[in-house]
Structure 1
Amino acid sequence: MDISVVVPLFNEEESLPELTAWIDRVMQSHNLSYEVWLVDDGSTDNSWPVIQRLARENEHLRAVKFQRNYGKSPALNVGFRHANGDVIITMDADLQDSPDEIPALYRMITQDGYDVVSGWKKERKDPIGKTLPSKFFNFVTRKVSGIELHDFNCGLKSYRRNVIKSIEVYGDMHRHMPLLAKWAGFRNIGEKVVVHRERKYGYSKFGISRLITGFLDLLTLMFVGKFGKRPMHLFGTLGTVMFVIGFITALYIGGAKIYALTNNMPKTLVTDNPWFFISLTTMIMGTLLFVTGFLAELVARSNPDRNHYLVETVLDA
C-alpha cells in the first residue's frame, strides 16, 4: 500500500464527508493505493455515526473510536500502530489542511529521500493571537532542537513507515514529532510550504495553554533524549558542582574566621556571615541532586527496555 492517512478528530461531524471525499479524489487522480485511519478521540457529537456511514460507502476508510477524550498524541499513536502504508501522512480533520498536498508530500519521501517532511503554514489564516505565540514557540524549538523547521505544530506531515514504527507518541508530544524522529536516528527532515485554509466548520479545540505544555514537553524530550539512560550524568554532575562550590565557600569562611582570631580582629560569629548559610544550602542541594541521580540510575537500570536500541542494518557473514 502506498499511503496511510491518519486523521485524529474530535467533534468534526460536519467536515468529515467533505474531507474523505476530497482525499479519495486526490488518491484516485494520482493512482495511489491508500487507506484512511479516522481516530475519533471521544467525540461528543455525531462524528462516529458519520464515520460509520462513510466507512460503508468507502472501502478505504478505517476507524478507531476512543471511549473518552485522550488527546491528539494518543490518537496519532493508535493510528500509527494500525497504519500499513509505505508512507504515513497525518492531517487535521477541520479542512484547514488541504489533501491536495498529499502527492507532493508522498514524493518527497519516496523520491527525494526524506524521512520526515513537515508542512509549513507560511500564510496562516489564524488571528494574530495564535500566530505570534506560535512563531515564538517555533523559534525556541528550532534553536533548542537544532532542527531548521518553521512550523513544528503543523498537523500536515509525512513520514517514512519505519520512522513512525520506531517512535512512541504520548502526552502532547505530537508537536515534537520531528524531534522524536531525530532522537531515533532519522535526521533527513525536510519542510514543504503548504496551503492553510480558513476553518469552514466548528471551532478550534486548542487554547493558549498548548504553548505552556509545548515548552514543558520540549524540556522533557531534551532531558529524556540526552539523559534518559544515564540520569547520573546530569544530576551527579550538577550535584557535585554545587557541593564543591558550597564546600569551597565554607572553607573560605572558616579560613577568614581563623585569620580574624589569630590577628586580634573584632570577634564575629560564623553565623553572622550570610555566605555561611548560602554555602550550607548549596552543599545540601548538591548532596540531594547527587542522591537523586543515584536513585534515577537505579530506576533506569531496572527498566526492561534499558538495552533496547533501534538497529537499521545487520551484515552477518
Structure 2
Amino acid sequence: MNISVVIPLLNEYESLNELNDWIVSVMRTNHFSYEIVFIDDGSTDDSWKTIIQLSEKNDNIKGIRFLKNFGKSQALHAGFDIAMGDVVITMDADLQDNPDEIPELYSMITKDGFDMVSGWKKKRYDSVITKNLPSKLFNWAARKTSGVKLHDFNCGLKAYNKDVVKNIDVNGEMHRYIPVLSKNAGFSNIGEKIVLHQARKYGETKFGMDRFINGFLDLITIWFLSRFGKRPMHLFGALGVFMFAVGFGFALYLGIDKLFFNPSGRLITQRPQFYISLSTMIIGTQFFVAGFLGEIILRTKQNKKRYLIKDKINLN
C-alpha cells in the first residue's frame, strides 16, 4: 500500500464528507493505493456516524472511536499503530490542511529520501493575537531547545516513512514534538515543505491559551527526556553530589574554624553557615535518591494503554 492518511478529529462532522471526497479524488487522480484512518477522539456530535457512512461506501475508509477524549497524541498513536502504508500522511480534519499537498509530500519521502517532512504554514489565516504570535514564539523556543530547524512544529500536515511512525512513542501531548521524537529515535533526515493553509470553514478552533502553556511545559519535558530520559542519575546524581559537596564544605570549614581558630567562640549551631550546610546536604541527598529512584523506575516500568477504544471500522 502506498499511503495511509491518518486523521485525528474531535467534533468535526461538518467537514468530514468534503475532506474525505477531496482525499479520495487526489488518491485516484495519482493512482495511489491508500487507506484513510479516522480516529474519533471522543466526539459528541455526529462524527462517528459520518465515518460509518463513509466506510460503507468505501472499503479503504477505516475508523477508530475512543471511549472518551484522550487527546490528539493518543489518537495519532492509535492511527500509527494500525497504519499499513509505506508513507503515512497526517492531517487535521478541519479542512485547513490541503490534501492536494499529498503527492509532493509522498515524493519527498519516497524519492528524496526524507524520513519525515513537516508542513510549514507560512501564510496563516488564524487570529494574529491568539494563535499566530504564540505559535511563532513556541516554534522559536522549540528550535532553540531541540536543534531541529523547522518553522512550524505544530502543523498537522506531515509525511512519514513508515519506519518512523512504528518506532516513535507519541504520548501525553507530545504530538507537537514529533519531529524531535523522530530525531531522538535516530531519524534525523527531516525536511520541510511550505503548504497552503486555509481558513477554517466549519466549527470553532480547539486552540486555547491552556494549549499554549502546556506546549511550553511539554517542551521542557521533551528537552529533559532527550538529555536525561535514559539516565536520570546523570542529572539528579550530579546535582546531588554537587550540593552535598557544598554542604560538606561548609561543615568542614565550621569544624576546622571551631577546633583550631575559635574554640571559645559561638557554638556551631548558632552560626548561619551551619544551617546552610545542613540544608544543602539534605537537598543533595534527596536529589541523589531521586536519580536513583528514576533509574529503578526506568528499568521496571510497564507499558500501559493510554486510551480505550470503543468501536472500530474495517479493522480486524
TM-score by length of 2: 0.90
Which contiguous aligned blocks of 4+ residues in structure 1 show a shift greater than 6 angstroms?
Answer: none
For residues 76 and 109 of structure 2, what CA distance do their matches in structure 1 show? 19
Cα deviations by residue, 1:143-176 (Å, 9 ceiling, x for unpaired): 1111001111111100000100011111111011
User: 1:78 corresponds to which letter in structure 2?
Assistant: A
Structure 1 unaligned residues grouped into runs of 5+: 306-317
Cα deviations by residue, 1:243-291 (Å, 9 ceiling, x for unpaired): 11121123234444456526x8xx4343444333222211110011111
The aligned length equals 302
Report what 1:130 is aligned to: 131
Structure 1 stretch 207-216 or stretch 98-107: which is displaced more? 207-216
SS in 1 for 2:7: strand
What displacement does 1:198 show? 0.6
CA contact (8 A) 2:98 2:196 kept: yes
User: 1:141 corresponds to which letter in structure 2?
Assistant: A
CA contact (8 A) 2:131 2:207 kept: no
Structure 2 unaligned residues grouped into runs of 5+: 304-316
Higher relative contact order, chain-length normalized (CA < 8 Å, sep 6+):
2
The yes-or-no answer on 1:162 pairing with 2:160 is no
User: 1:281 corresponds to which letter in structure 2?
Assistant: S
What displacement does 1:227 show? 2.6
Report what 2:48 is aligned to: 48
SS in 1 for 2:14: coil
Structure 1 stretch 24-33 or stretch 224-233: which is displaced more? 224-233
SS in 1 for 2:56: helix
For residues 214 and 254 of structure 1, what CA distance do their matches in structure 2 show? 49
The yes-or-no answer on 1:228 pairing with 2:229 is yes
Over aligned residues, Cα RMSD in angstroms?
1.7
Structure 1 stretch 86-95 or stretch 239-248: which is displaced more? 239-248
The yes-or-no answer on 1:186 pairing with 2:187 is yes
Report what 2:12 is aligned to: 12
For residues 276 and 211 of structure 1, what CA distance do their matches in structure 2 show? 44
User: 1:270 corresponds to which letter in structure 2?
Assistant: I
SS in 1 for 2:262: helix
User: 1:28 corresponds to which letter in structure 2?
Assistant: R
TM-score by length of 1: 0.90
SS in 2 for 1:15: helix
For residues 209 and 304 of structure 1, what CA distance do their matches in structure 2 show? 30
SS in 2 for 1:6: strand
For residues 101 and 25 of structure 1, what CA distance do their matches in structure 2 show? 13
Percentage of matched positions with identical amino acids: 57
